[in-house]
Amino acid sequence: MSWRLLSIGLLSVLSLLSTANATPIPDPPKIDAKAYLLLDINSGRVLAEENADQRIEPASLTKIMTAYAVFHELQAGHVALGDEVLVSEKAWKTPGSRMFIEVGHRVKVEDLLQGLIIQSGNDAGVALAEHIAGSESAFAELMNARAADLGMQDTHFDNATGLPDPEHYTTARDIAKAAAAVIKEFPEYYKWYSTKQFTYGGITQKNRNKLLWRDSSVDGVKTGHTSTAGYCLVASAKRDGMRLLSVVIGAKSDNARAAASQSLLNYGFRFYESHKLYDAGQTVRRVRVWKGDRKHLPLGPAEDVYITVPRGRYNAMKAKVLINNRILAPVRKGSTVGYVRLSLDGDDIARIPLVALAGIKDGGIVHRLTDTVLMWFNF
């Protein structure tokens, strides 16, 4: 496939208005943990990582996927927040952290979700799993299907709670994908992750995420701990429109995981900046189409496009648009026909696909013959 290169001025095309001075980027902070990762959720850029693809025991970080799977069932209308769940003996007896539901009692899905998210209730996780899929093992398969959809290639869930099992594992990178999906896809439910305490059955328990008390920009996500997994924390914060996600796995204490997460978040916000370049469906360029019922085709991104760069380097970016050298009808709406290539200091930092924002059918025979002649002189 041949491409036509169109150089474009970044200031005029992308409306980049930053005038901040460039800031040198130091190495990420030293984190005493088995693995960690720092991610800009909007752009998808990883700002720091260590052992991010190493298989780890997720402990209660599992419940990020448990909740994500339940959210999808709510979205599909298969369950409702007001549905009452009959608590089984298995759910009631599940060891570990709990919201203290009673066997034989009925509990609303909404209460179970808050018990799962805020109190990290293992009993809530099992009750939800059994209500939705009939059994916890069947629900784990549903979790695995959702994980596959998110590209979590190094993950396998065996239960809905995070209790240790040899076939229950993930990675820092994979669990970041699950947390990012919760934040982006279900903002109406994500609000629960910033709730500092929850009362059920007369028992009030605090959210174990200490950063909710220490940093007002932090609004989630989930803690986890077992003797073998160590202390884990997935934390997300939003400052000036920039949202970062940190994953810390296997810290030595509750305070250590909170301090490590805070260090990563502060590093990302201090030394990087994030900007929205395009809205989904925004026309970036119109191009000539040959032999179609229309001459010009609007091109743009299929999704919102964000970019993350070192602070103060926004205006230093360069952009080039590359378009298929000869676009012939018919053109299917949504098909990729080019891309924008962004570079900084000579290194490519992003490649943004440009898709057809409209469909173009074959033109009439006269138009096709005319374009055939014109193409001899234009190529």
DSSP code string of 127-194 = HHHHHHHSSHHHHHHHHHHHHHHTT-TT-B-S-SS----TT-BB-HHHHHHHHHHHHHH-HHHHGGGG
| From 120, 236, 261, 263, the catalytic residue | 120
Q: 46-94, pLDDT tens digit by residue?
A: 999 999 999 999 999 999 999 999 999 999 999 999 999 999 999 999 9
Pairwise CA distance, residues 223 & 227, whole Å = 14
67: how many CB neighbours lie within 10 A of its CB?
26
Half-sphere exposure of 120 (CA within 13 A, CB side): 22
| 58 within 8 A of 229, measured Cβ to Cβ | yes
> Mean per-residue pLDDT for 233-261?
97
253 is catalytic: no
Domains and CATH numbers, the chain: 3-18+277-378 (2.60.410.10), 35-251 (3.40.710.10)
> Mean per-residue pLDDT for 289-295?
88
120 is catalytic: yes
pLDDT (0 to 100) of residue 364: 78
* 14 has a pLDDT exceeding 90: no
φ and ψ of 188, to 5 deg? -70, -25
Please tell me whether residue 65 adopts helix, strand or coil conformation: helix
> What is the pLDDT confidence band of residue 375, given thresholds at 50, 70 and 90?
low
Residues 6+ apart with CB under 8 A from 326: 2, 290, 375, 379
Please tell me whether residue 314 adopts helix, strand or coil conformation: helix
> What is the pLDDT confidence band of residue 9, given thresholds at 50, 70 and 90?
very low
* 291 has a pLDDT exceeding 90: no
Residues 6+ apart with CB under 8 A from 4: 322, 323, 324, 325
> What is the pLDDT confidence band of residue 365, given thresholds at 50, 70 and 90?
confident
Pairwise CA distance, residues 367 & 232, whole Å = 64
| From 60, 88, 236, 246, the catalytic residue | 60
Pairwise CA distance, residues 117 & 191, whole Å = 10
Over pLDDT 70: what percentage of the chain? 92
Pairwise CA distance, residues 349 & 316, whole Å = 12
> Mean per-residue pLDDT for 320-337?
90
| From 63, 177, 222, 291, the catalytic residue | 63
> What is the pLDDT confidence band of residue 328, given thresholds at 50, 70 and 90?
confident
Q: 135-144, pLDDT tens digit by residue?
A: 999 999 999 9
30 is catalytic: no
Tell me the pLDDT of the chain averaged across its residues: 92
> Mean per-residue pLDDT for 345-370?
86
Q: 25-57, pLDDT tens digit by residue?
A: 899 999 999 999 999 999 999 999 999 999 999
